[in-house]
Amino acid sequence: MTMKHLEVQYVQRDESWLEFNARVLEEATDPGNPLLEQVKFLAIFSSNLDEFFMVRIAGISTQAQEIPAKLYRDIHYIPRELKERLLARIRELVGKQYDYLNAKVLPRLTKSGVRIADWNALPDNLKKVARKQFETTVLPVLTPIGIDPSHPFPLLPNLSLELLVRLNCTDKATGSAYERFAVVEVPPVLPRFLRFSSADGTIWFLPMEDLIAHELQTLFQGCEILECAPFRITRDMDLSIDEDSISDLLTEMQIALQKKKDRRVIRLELDARMSDASRKWLMERLAVPAESVFPISGMLNLKSLFETTSVPHPELKNEPLPPLPSIACAGTSSMFAAIRKNGPFLLHLPYESFDPVVRLLEEAADDPDVLAIKQTLYRVGSNSPIVSALIRAARQGKQVTVLFEIKARFDEANNIQRAHELAEAGAHVVYGIAGLKVHCKALLIVRKEKAGIRRYVHLGTGNYNASTAKQYTDIGCFSDDRLLAEDVSGLFNVITGFSNPPPWNKLVVAPFNMKDSLIYWIDREARLSSEENPGHIVIKANAAIDYEVLERLYAAAEHNVKIDMIIRGICGLNPKCLSPKAAANLRIVSIVDRFLEHARIYRFRNNGTPEYYLGSADVMPRNLRRRIELLFPVEDAELRKELDMIIDMQLGDKRKGRLLLGANEYSETASPKKPDAPGAQRRLYEWYEKRYKKFMESKSPKKGRLVVYRDQERKENV
């Protein structure tokens, strides 16, 4: 393989991720996005960054402390240096975020009648209302904690907003004055903003910490308040459990969650106006080094800006794209009949509605011929209709088996609660497999029919979560294919520990055969490819960072294989490290738009006999080695056409598709010539809408000829 050695061959995953988040931030500045959508992107940027600190920066910090220098080569970077680079870039991006928020977004919001303002800007009449609310709602839940030698510094929860108060108190006995610190938590049970409407129709959002800061004297009577500044800590939340040495994963996970408060502080965000003395005092108490301190020029925790986007200003939001009904399920008496008659068929979320999945489960729960239901659940969300249907099915005596992946990050507590509910209903709940996270999305229903046992499957690229199904683009497939069902059944046998992995008929399953298959497909493409008959690989995934696979992709590009990738987030490839001819074969697009791109599609030309796969796996070492993931083939010609259409639209997205130019370097879309031009997501919605309308027209009963007279004509006729 000819490589240009001066160019970096692979981009480090965290640096690549950070650039993905930079693209999210770019969306906040895209004039084509309505103002409240820009606010959302600012919130998403912060939310993403919180997770990045909790997991990745925490992990790299540990590596920097623990891994001896000689092992650096195994992880392809020097943790200390990487951390410095990441933190520097984060500071740059956060600076940009606040600059844009303060200079552009907030003034524009004000102009549009939405004000996110501090206490001083609030009109007097609203201040009065705010004070009243403080007394009735806020004050009762406030717990100021004074810190002195007999009251040590408290254990502060992760990501909670706190106020550091510096006080000047007087000793009653001696009359001498002394300084002390106190901490007041902004209670998480309260909304972040108090919302008011003024007479002129303006909607006001007053940050809760501002209200509390203004009313602090009520809490510290007898003391002089010298200073009050908000701060927020981020802890290391990478819950790693030694699964080989434990017997009960559920209990261990619960213990780990209880210990969340104890974990070390990875980031300290504080108001940039906080005095040096207070800052130093706080850093000492939290044992935070200077590099982890982030002075913020503005409101902390921009994630909570989500709360402000619910205002009734449709002109400031994206035009709604309500999920469309699936044409394959329309007009059928049951989902089982729909699958038998129209299957296999795809469901493309959120363009199409998630209802068929819920409907299938609900029908299965009540159907006396259904013998068993098996499902993997990763992030279900609260009040999940999926879990409710499973509970009902279990109560009706069906064999319900649920693999509840309680290790799904940041959803652990919610998952444990739902898992308990299922187990109480009589379902067989499996809490994951030691050492492997179950990330595949599979549903299997065993039904006794006249012709014998028939198994129905739904396989997807996204979680069984009715809420995210409205925001994430995912593709699911309903089928009653015998071999596919046999594989899915085998997969559940592996997950539940009932059997060793079987020889798979159709499924490609990690960690058993996925990586080998992926490498085999790529190598096959390279082998079959020539200048006259070039191969073609399409990979749409969230991330591509497995260096072994990437190396094969580079080699394939050098062998005339055209490689098109739609990689939303982390991408380790650098086209510039290839020869110009090979680099021209590599096209990588990242789409960041109103929906979160989440579907994974793999397509291989295979010398004219193409193969298509959908699934849960990204091209990442964790997906291919440490998780149970699956890819399933799409064999139906019509469904393949649908996938081709999706791929073509996304690859051709000039509006929201950013092209990878070099190492971590993407083209810009923030200032396009036509800000209102539709991106691939909008065009896809239109495609599905058109298809649905056409289908409904074909189904509507033929009526007599309808003649519509225009007024003039009618008059004339009269």
Partner 1 sequence: MTMPISRKKTKTDPIVFAAVELGAHSVRMLIAECRRGKSVARTLEELELPIPLGVNVFRSGKVSDSAIRVICEIFENFKEKMEEYDVKQCSAVATSAVREAANANILLERIHHATGIDLQLFDGADQARLGYYTIRSVFPSKRAFARQNILLADIGTGVCQISAYRKGFLAFTESVKSGSLRVLDMLPGTLSSFALRDCLTPIVRQSFLEIEHGGMSLASDAIVAMGASARILLRFFPNAKKSTENLLDISASEFFAMRASVATRSIEQMADEFDIAKDMAEAAIPCAIILERLLRISGAKRILIPRISMKYGLLHIFLNELTGKADDFDEQILSVARMTAEKYKCSLEYSSRTVAFAEKLFLKLKRLHGLGSRDLLILKVAAWLHKTGLYLNNQASHKHSYYIILSTEIPGLSYEERRIAALTARYHRKSWPKRQHLEYTALSAGEQSRVLKLSALLRLASYLAETQALPQKLSVSMPDEDTVELDPGLSESALDFELTGKDGLAYLSHVLAVHAEISQE
Which residue, 456 or 595, has its beta carbon nearer to partner 1? 456
Q: Distance of CA 347 to CAs 325, 327, 429, 464, 613, Å? A: 9, 9, 27, 13, 15
Task: Kindly give, in sequence order, each residue whose CB lies less than 8 Å from that of residue 268, ignoring residues fewer than 6 positions away.
Answer: 231, 232, 233, 234, 282, 283, 286, 288, 292, 293, 294
Cα 384–chain centre separation: 18
Q: Report the alpha-carbon angle 338-342-348, nearest 5.
A: 90
396: which strand partners?
Answer: none
Choosing from 64, 190, 226, 371, the residue that interacts with partner 1 (CB under 8 A) is 371
Q: Which is nearer to partner 1, 80 or 625 (CB)?
A: 625
CB of 384 to partner 1, least distance (A): 21
Residue nearer to partner 1 on the CB measure, 490 or 633: 490
CB 221 within 8 A of CB 144: no
Binding mask 337-366 for partner 1 (x = CB under 8 A): -----------------------------x
In DSSP terms, 456 is beta-bridged to 445
Q: Which is nearer to partner 1, 220 or 336 (CB)?
A: 336
- Give the separation between CA 216 and CA 131, rounded to whole angstroms: 12
Name the minimum Å distance from CB 449 to partner 1: 8
- State in angstroms the smallest separation of the CB of 418 from partner 1: 22
Query: Would you say 550 and 515 are in contact if contact means Cβ atoms under 8 Å apart?
Result: no
Query: What is the C-alpha separation between 566 and 545, in angstroms, rounded?
Result: 13
Residue 439: active-site member: yes
Nearest-angstrom CA–CA distance, 666 and 20: 10
Phi, psi for 16 (deg, rounded to 5): -65, -40
Q: Report the alpha-carbon distance of residue 614 to residue 603 in Å, rounded.
A: 9
Site string for partner 1, 443-462 (x = CB under 8 A): ---x-x-xxxx-x-------
Report the DSSP beta bridge partners of residue 197: 203
Find tokens 């600190």 and name the residue.
53
CB of 526 to partner 1, least distance (A): 20
User: Which parts of 44-63 interact with partner 1 (CB under 8 A)?
Assistant: none
Q: Any contact of residue 247 with partner 1 (CB under 8 A)?
A: no
Inter-residue contact 288 to 268 (CB < 8 Å): yes
664 near 19, Cβ under 8 Å? yes
Q: Which amino acid is at 618?
A: D
- Smallest distance from partner 1 to CB 498, Å: 5
The binder of partner 1 chosen from 22, 183, 282, 372 (CB under 8 A): 372
Nearer to partner 1, 480 or 486 (CB): 486
* Region from 49-57, 61-69, 482-490, 707-715 binding partner 1, contact rule CB under 8 A: 482-490
C-beta closer to partner 1: residue 524 or 598: 524
- The answer to whether 388 contacts partner 1 (rule: CB under 8 A) is no
CA distance 392 to 363: 11
The residues, any chain, with a CB within 8 Å of residue 88's CB and separated by 6 or more, are none
Q: Which of 291, 369, 424, 713 binds partner 1 (CB under 8 A)?
A: 369
* Among candidate residues 338, 341, 357, 337, the one with its CA nearest the CA of residue 349: 357
Site string for partner 1, 598-637 (x = CB under 8 A): ----------------------------------------
393 near partner 1 (CB under 8 A): no
Span interacting with partner 1, options 5-13, 168-176, 442-450, 527-535, rule CB under 8 A: 442-450
Footprint (CB under 8 A) of partner 1, residues 100-119: none
CB atoms within 10 A of CB 47: 18
Q: Name which of 282 and 372 has its Cβ closer to partner 1.
A: 372
Least distance from partner 1 to the Cβ atom of residue 372, Å: 4
Among 201, 312, 320, 368, binds partner 1 (CB under 8 A): 368
Nearer to partner 1, 446 or 509 (CB): 446
In whole angstroms, how close is the CB of 490 to partner 1 at the nearest point?
Answer: 8
Of 448 and 626, CB closest to partner 1: 448
What would the two tokens of residue 408 be?
């799904």
Cα distances (Å, whole numbers) of residue 497 to 246, 432, 434, 627: 16, 10, 11, 15
Residue type, 396: Q
Whether a cis peptide bond, with omega within 30° of 0, leads into 31 is: no
- Selected binder of partner 1 within 26, 367, 546, 653 (CB under 8 A): 367
Q: Pick between residue 21 and residue 479 the one whose CB is nearest to partner 1.
A: 479
Positions in 483-542 near partner 1 (CB under 8 A): 486, 489-490, 493, 496-500, 502
What count of residues does the chain have? 718
Cβ-contact 441, 464 below 8 angstroms: yes
Closest to partner 1 by CB, 225 vs 528, is 528
- Give CA–CA dist 546/516, Å, rounded: 13
Least Å distance, CB 528 to partner 1, is 18
Least distance CB 401 / partner 1 (angstroms) = 8
Structure tokens at 351: 């363009």
Pick the piece of the chain touching partner 1 (CB under 8 A) from 188-196, 368-376, 408-416, 672-680.
368-376
Nearest distance, CB of residue 458 and partner 1, angstroms: 18
d(CA 358, CA 384): 10
d(CA 676, CA 696): 29
- Interface with partner 1 (CB under 8 A), residue total 25
Judged by CB under 8 A, the residue of 158, 399, 467, 579 near partner 1 is 399
Q: Determine which one of 439, 458, 559, 598 is catalytic.
A: 439
Task: Give yes or no for a contact between 312 and 242, defined as CB atoms under 8 angstroms apart.
Answer: no
Q: Is 428 in the site for partner 1 (CB under 8 A)?
A: yes
Smallest distance, partner 1 to C-beta of residue 450, A: 6
Residues 343 and 477: their CA atoms lie apart, in Å, by 9
Q: Which residues bind partner 1 (CB under 8 A)?
A: 366-369, 371-372, 399, 428, 446, 448, 450-453, 455, 486, 489-490, 493, 496-500, 502
- Which residues are marked as active site? 439
